[in-house]
Structure formats: structure tokens, C-alpha cells
Structure 1
Amino acid sequence: MHRSAAEFMGTFWLVFGGCGSAVLAAGVPEVGIGWLGVALAFGLTVMTMAYAIGHVSGCHLNPAVSIGLWAAGRFPCRDILPYLAAQVLGAIVGAGVLYLIASGKAGFDASASGFAANGYGEHSPGQYGLVAALLAEVVLTFMFLMIILGATDGRAPAGFAPIAIGLGLTLIHLIGIPVDNLSVNPARSTGPALFVGDWALAQLWLFWIAPILGGWLAGKVYRRLAPSA
């Protein structure tokens, strides 16, 4: 229960902080933080939560991370569903609080604004298609999990894992935001999609399948790469 509560809180912070930076701050005239700021915000949410709750739950905040760690032999199968439920619920509540705040501005429309939802085709920031988004999500989730698995390896320098993971998430956002607003996290995609509805829900399948596949592959590869970890 304590670990699930920690995952709920951490994923809430990830969505509220990361997506909140995109919805509330990225496009502000003259002082907007832009894509660089949004990428940094996502990295900071994970880094801060890793220090805050890493010792409680491991700070997964992401179904793809939980499944990747399971594939690497570092996480028990019996805990996957409770973690996934807490992560998705935290993401939905985080998106809900963000929606209430954003709605305080006259004329706000979640569907019209995109509400930081992930999408491809006409809903991609750079107009990238389905195949490009699918490949980006698999590859970037794979690399994110490789960073996580390496940084948390017992042979890695102690105490620096949150920094490496946070900066890793920042980097992959810098690469992936133009493609599909970057997910690498099915829970993060689900929260905003529920408030956008329509196209965001229709495209949500990709942002579950691709990150989970990338995470699972990374777990299998790292297990062979560092078998004594």
C-alpha cells in the first residue's frame, strides 16, 4: 500500500509538472519556456521524485519502467498490476488538477489546445506519421530503460542515479517532443487523453504498445549485457 501510494503521488507530479509546463508555460508570449523548458520540466519531475520516493517504491512512475524492470529480473510480477493501477490513477488525477487550473483562463479548450496529449499525423507537433511515432517511442523508451537499469545497477556510482535518469528523460524529450509530444510512458499519455477525448483516445493505443515494447526489450537486453547485476 505504501509503495502504491508513492507511485500514485510520483506519477501525479510527473503529469502535473511535465504536462503542466507544456499547457501553462510553454506558449506564454515572450516568456514561454518552449520545448526546451518542457523537456527540462519532465526531467526535473522524475529527478525530484526519485530522491523523494525512490527509497519507498523505486520511483517507477511509468508502466513501461515497471515492465522493463520485471523483464530484467529486478521487479516481481505480482507487483506489476498494483503499480500500473497506481500510476494510471495518479496520471489521471494529475491531468484533472491541471485541467481545473487551465480552465481558469477564459476560452481554454482542452481538445483545441491539445492539452499536452500525445499524437501522430495531424496531431504531431512536427506532422510526423504513425510509423515515425511508433519507432521513436520504442527506441526512446528502450534507451530510457537502459539508462535506468545502468544507473541503478549495484555496480554504478551510488547516489547519482536520479540525476542520470532525470537528465536522460530530458534528453529523450528534446528528441521526441517534435515527433509526438513524447510519451515513453503509457500512464502519462492516458491522463491528458481522457480530457482531450476524440483523437487522443483513438491514438492512445500506440502510446501503450510502443513504450511497453521498448521497455520490455531493454529489460531483456540489459539482463544479457550485465548478467551479474
Structure 2
Amino acid sequence: MIKRLAAETLGTFWLVLGGCGSAVLAAAFPQLGIGFVGVALAFGLSVLTMAFALGHVSGAHFNPAVTVGLFAGGRFPAREVVQYIVAQVIGAIAAAAVLYCIASGKPGFDAAASGFASNGYGEHSPGGYSLTAAIVTEFVLTAFFVIIILGATDKRAVAGFAPIAIGLALTLIHLISIPVTNTSVNPARSTGVALFQGGWAIAQLWVFWVVPLIGGLAGGAVYRWLLDERRAAMAAGGRAATT
């Protein structure tokens, strides 16, 4: 368990450093062509690379919403949920601390003023989207992210390609929702940078815990229902074949 928790910490660290790091450090240089697309790719690539590297150790959750989603989908034990979430939050905070140290090397940098890649709604949404829009976006995208993860890692799926599907899914999610909330779908990611932004990001952090966790549970429950329906249909087909 210690090694699995260490893997979750390292994986979440890499996800936050890679994704939020691209937003804080690289997106400020338009000549690099980073923008929303580059940040979305950075998040997708960070989870893809760590899923390949550490997926066989811990399952590569790197996200509390994924952990509770896998629990709801019947693929993760309840007794380990809290431990995984604590490890993920530690990794996210550590990554945000490293990112803050790097970003502070530029004269005049202010994490509070810059937003520090934090998630927000209303006046703190990149596109000025409302709380309702933020809730709908985070819920739907987190639910689908968990469904994709459960499907891609199912034993009946094509072996070896799950990290690619998951990384591309996270990229797509960011392309959709960066303008709305700056994209969370991950309470640990939101927490790490919010602590260093220190103001409005902490006040709005509750949304990026409550909604993704509910979305993760919903996605897990939907996939489990689909799987149960498929099993029932297969069983019924088997019975019909023997009569």
C-alpha cells in the first residue's frame, strides 16, 4: 500500500506540474503557440505518460473524482478511497509548491493576481461563465471521464491502449471547459494551486470538490449499470442457447 500511495502522489504531482505548469509558465508566451490547445495537451500528456509509467503500480487514478468513480463502478475498495485521496492531494500541493518556486523566479510574479491556473466561475471564469454553467460542465465532463476510464481499463477492452484513451479524453475535456472553469474535473489539482492563489480560488474551491466527486460517482454508477445490463443480456442469451 505504501508504494501504491507513493505512486498516486508522484502521478498527481506530475499531472499538476505538467498541466498547471504549462498554463502558468508557457501560456504567457504567445510566440510559443501554447494557448488553450497547448495547455489541454499538457494535461492529457501528463496523465498519459504517468498512466503508462505507474498504472501497473497504483491503477493511475491521480484524481479523487476518479477514485470515487472507480469505487462506484465496483472496481476499487471503499477502505482505500480516503488513503488514495490524501496521497493525491499531497502530490498536488507539492507540485503547486514547486511551480510557485519556479514562477517566483520571474520578477514581479504574483500568484494571487495571476490566478495561478486556479479554477473559478463568475468573474473568475476565463470566459465569464456562471456558477450554474460551471456546475453542469464539471459534473458532465467528470462523469464521462470516469466512464471512459472504466471502459478503457475493462478486461474486455483492447489491452495496452487505456492510457492513450484516458490522455486523449482529458485533452478533449480541457478543450471544452478551459473557457468555462479553467477545467478542474480533479479536486486535488484544484486544491494545490488554490492554496497558493490564496484568495478567491479558496472561496470557490468547494465547487471543484463537490461537483467532480458527484460526477465521478455518477459516471461509475452508470458504467456499472451498463455492465450489469450487458451481463444480464449475455446470461439470458446463454440460457436461450441451451434450451
The Cα offsets for residues 109-159 of structure 1, whole Å up to 9 and x where unpaired, read as 001101000000110000001000011000000110111011001110000
Aligned match of 1:61: 62
Report the 3-state secondary structure (helix = DSSP H, G, I; strand = E; otherwise coil) of the residue aligned with 1:175: helix
List 4+ stretches of structure 1 deviating above 4 A: none
Aligned match of 2:193: 192
Separation in structure 2 between the aligned mates of residue 109 and residue 216 of structure 1, nearest angstrom: 36
1:29 positional shift: 3.6
Given residue 46 of structure 1, which amino acid in structure 2 is its aligned partner?
V
Separation in structure 1 between the aligned mates of residue 179 and residue 50 of structure 2, nearest angstrom: 26
The Cα offsets for residues 15-58 of structure 1, whole Å up to 9 and x where unpaired, read as 00000000000121422400000000000000000010000000
Separation in structure 2 between the aligned mates of residue 79 and residue 187 of structure 1, nearest angstrom: 16
Given residue 143 of structure 1, which amino acid in structure 2 is its aligned partner?
F
Separation in structure 1 between the aligned mates of residue 175 and residue 17 of structure 2, nearest angstrom: 19
Aligned match of 2:43: 42
1:149-168 aligned at under 5 Å gives the runs 149-168=150-169
Separation in structure 1 between the aligned mates of residue 65 and residue 127 of structure 2, nearest angstrom: 25
Separation in structure 2 between the aligned mates of residue 173 and residue 106 of structure 1, nearest angstrom: 29
The Cα offsets for residues 52-88 of structure 1, whole Å up to 9 and x where unpaired, read as 0000000000000000000011000011111001000
Matched, 1:216 2:217: yes
Given residue 219 of structure 1, which amino acid in structure 2 is its aligned partner?
G
Q: What is the aligned-residue identity percentage?
A: 69
Aligned match of 1:110: 111
Aligned match of 1:14: 15
Report the 3-state secondary structure (helix = DSSP H, G, I; strand = E; otherwise coil) of the residue aligned with 2:32: coil
| Number of aligned residues | 228
Given residue 134 of structure 2, which amino acid in structure 1 is its aligned partner?
A
Separation in structure 2 between the aligned mates of residue 88 and residue 226 of structure 1, nearest angstrom: 31
Given residue 36 of structure 1, which amino acid in structure 2 is its aligned partner?
V
Aligned match of 1:85: 86
Q: CA RMSD in A?
A: 0.7
Report the 3-state secondary structure (helix = DSSP H, G, I; strand = E; otherwise coil) of the residue aligned with 1:47: helix
Separation in structure 2 between the aligned mates of residue 35 and residue 27 of structure 1, nearest angstrom: 11
Given residue 90 of structure 1, which amino acid in structure 2 is its aligned partner?
G
Separation in structure 1 between the aligned mates of residue 45 and residue 144 of structure 2, nearest angstrom: 18
Report the 3-state secondary structure (helix = DSSP H, G, I; strand = E; otherwise coil) of the residue aligned with 1:226: helix
Given residue 15 of structure 1, which amino acid in structure 2 is its aligned partner?
V
Aligned match of 2:134: 133
Report the 3-state secondary structure (helix = DSSP H, G, I; strand = E; otherwise coil) of the residue aligned with 1:60: coil
Separation in structure 2 between the aligned mates of residue 88 and residue 31 of structure 1, nearest angstrom: 31
Q: Which runs of 5+ in 1 are unaligned?
A: none
Separation in structure 1 between the aligned mates of residue 30 and residue 107 of structure 2, nearest angstrom: 16
Matched, 1:225 2:226: yes
The Cα offsets for residues 161-186 of structure 1, whole Å up to 9 and x where unpaired, read as 00000000000000000001000000
Matched, 1:177 2:178: yes
Separation in structure 1 between the aligned mates of residue 32 and residue 38 of structure 2, nearest angstrom: 11
Report the 3-state secondary structure (helix = DSSP H, G, I; strand = E; otherwise coil) of the residue aligned with 1:61: coil
